[in-house]
Amino acid sequence: MEITIRHSSLDGSVRAPPSKSCTHRALFCAALAEGESRIHSPLTCDDTLATAQALSKLGVRTSWNDGHANVTRHGELKEPSGEIFCGESGTTLRFMTAICATTPHQAEISGRSSLLRRPVESLAIALGKLGADCKTNHGYPPVRVKGPIHGGSVEVPGGISSQYVSALLLAAPLAKSPLEITVIGRLESRSYVEMTVEMQSKFGVQIDAADDVTRFHSENQVYCASDVEVEGDWSSAAFLLAASAIAGENVRVEGLVQDTIQADQYLLNILKRMNARVNTDPGSVTVEKSRLEPIEVDISDSPDLFPVVCALCAVADGVSKVTGIRRLRIKESDRVLAMSNGLKEMGVKNHESHDSLTISGQSILRGATIDPHRDHRIAMAFAALGLCTNEIKIVDGECVGKSYPSFWKDLRALGADVIVA
């Protein structure tokens, strides 16, 4: 699918899609509970469908209905019939690895080629120390794992992926004896770990966490079936809010809870520091086109904001610097390289280092054909920039289905000139 976007002005309101991160965690917690759970307002996208399909291999049934999903499990987790395929979802891969390590069954977990570049070594080592037999392909998928884990103490690095910690936390209550997790170094993206603990509490599981979120303790516990509500996704809404700051008259994004644990609400802080005109109320955010000022910002705790922040910096009046980006080289694509090359195609000068990208904002951007490297967030970031060019083309536009399937439809509903071919 090739998307063409032409110079446009946005106006109106749209509802943010449900949170992908919350939906993943709700699906896993529900799968670990005996009986039937109901998830209200889940996100249905490529990644969450990959999670549901992976869990089905363990005997967990998910039925997607209008506005909710029913997740049912009767009896113990089953021995998987064949490979567990996780598509392109790193969350699915890492969480499934830990969950399968709680069972006595052999499981092989894999995915598409992009997923085979996502590291899992530290998680595999940790599970091995807890009693599981966990093998990887030189630290990468496919993963072969057999449990059960017995509990004990384990250390995991905090600077590679918070998903390692979340995966261990999901599995911890199922260990036969108490389990202690210690994070070595600074835990980046800590709010995603806090989101995991919060979701577990909704299913009757209590994790004791240190105030600095570097040590965790779990007793052997039972997940209980529950009804949970998924809130709007700040990560996906970020692209609409940025597009409005670039080319919006008066755009309101609804369904965004202000009192949220989601890390990417940090975009509000970034927009305000860049002099964007932003108004908030308890359930929505309104943004207008603004003359943006340059910024220096560390996004190590909100890495998914990197592409959208780069888009904002590209049209800011001066030189910006985005730091805390080293982990972005092991996402769906090398996001640093993908953003740097795409911006250069549009005439935006930038300089890349190991942990920063310096961007010289331009008042006039030239049209270009952008290859997002099958990365949903890269595609959506350049879509926002396309609104202030004569014309931009984005190849493989269907990749937004990974997190925000209705993105092109919503952008068009706000007045964007979007052509799908």
Per-residue pLDDT in tens (0 to 9) along the chain, 421 residues: 999 999 999 999 999 999 999 999 999 999 999 999 999 999 999 999 999 999 999 999 999 998 999 999 999 999 998 999 999 999 999 999 999 999 999 999 999 998 999 999 999 999 999 999 999 999 999 999 999 999 999 999 998 889 999 999 999 999 999 999 999 998 988 999 999 999 999 999 999 999 888 999 999 999 999 999 999 999 999 999 999 999 998 899 999 999 999 999 999 999 999 999 999 998 999 999 999 999 999 999 999 999 999 999 999 999 999 999 988 876 666 899 999 999 999 999 999 988 999 999 998 999 999 999 999 999 999 999 999 999 999 999 999 999 999 999 999 999 999 999 8
Kindly give, in sequence order, each residue whose CB lies less than 8 Å from that of residue 208, ignoring residues fewer than 6 positions away: 216, 217, 218
pLDDT digits (tens, 9 = 90+) for 104-155: 999 999 999 989 999 999 999 999 999 999 999 999 999 999 999 999 999 9
pLDDT of residue 81: 85
Residue 77 DSSP class = P
* Mode of pairing for the β-strands spanning 391-394 and 107-110: unpaired
264, 301, 304, 396: the catalytic one is 304
pLDDT of residue 210: 93
Specify the DSSP element, H or E, that contains 56: helix 46-56
Topology of domain 20-229, CATH: UDP-n-acetylglucosamine1-carboxyvinyl-transferase; Chain (3.65.10)
pLDDT of residue 87: 96
112: which 2 tokens?
């598409």
pLDDT of residue 330: 66
Specify the DSSP element, H or E, that contains 356: strand 356-360
The backbone region for 182, taken as left when phi is positive above 0, alpha when psi lies in -120 to 50, beta otherwise, is beta
Kindly give, in sequence order, each residue whose CB lies less than 8 Å from that of residue 259, ignoring residues fewer than 6 positions away: none
Specify the DSSP element, H or E, that contains 238: helix 234-247
The end-to-end CA distance of the chain, in Å, is: 6
Choose among 287, 288, 236, 228: nearest CA to 262: 236
Count the helix, strand and coil residues of the chain and give each as a percent rounded to the nearest 5: 35, 30, 35
Residue 57 DSSP class = T
Asked whether the beta carbons of 412 and 390 are under 8 A apart, the reply is no
* 3-class SS of residue 371: coil
pLDDT of residue 327: 82
pTM: 0.94
**In CATH, what is the architecture of 3-17+232-420?**
Alpha-beta prism (3.65)
Q: Using CA atoms, how far apart are residues 237 and 144, in angstroms rounded to an integer?
A: 36
Which residue ranges does the chain devote to CATH 3.65.10.10? 3-17+232-420, 20-229
- The verdict on whether 212 is a catalytic residue reads no
pLDDT of residue 331: 67
Kindly give, in sequence order, each residue whose CB lies less than 8 Å from that of residue 353, ignoring residues fewer than 6 positions away: none
Beta strands in 111-247 (DSSP E): 133-137, 140-146, 152-157, 179-184, 208-209, 215-218, 223-224, 227-229
Amino acid identity of 52? A
pLDDT of residue 332: 67
Angle between helices 234-247 and 376-386 (to 10 degrees): 20
Q: How many residues does the chain have?
A: 421
* 3-class SS of residue 40: strand
Amino acid identity of 80? P
Amino acid identity of 136? T
Asked whether the beta carbons of 315 and 385 are under 8 A apart, the reply is yes
User: Which is it for the CA torsion 205, 210, 214, 220, positive or negative?
Assistant: negative
Q: Using CA atoms, how far apart are residues 87 and 82, in angstroms rounded to an integer?
A: 15
Q: Using CA atoms, how far apart are residues 235 and 265, in angstroms rounded to an integer?
A: 8
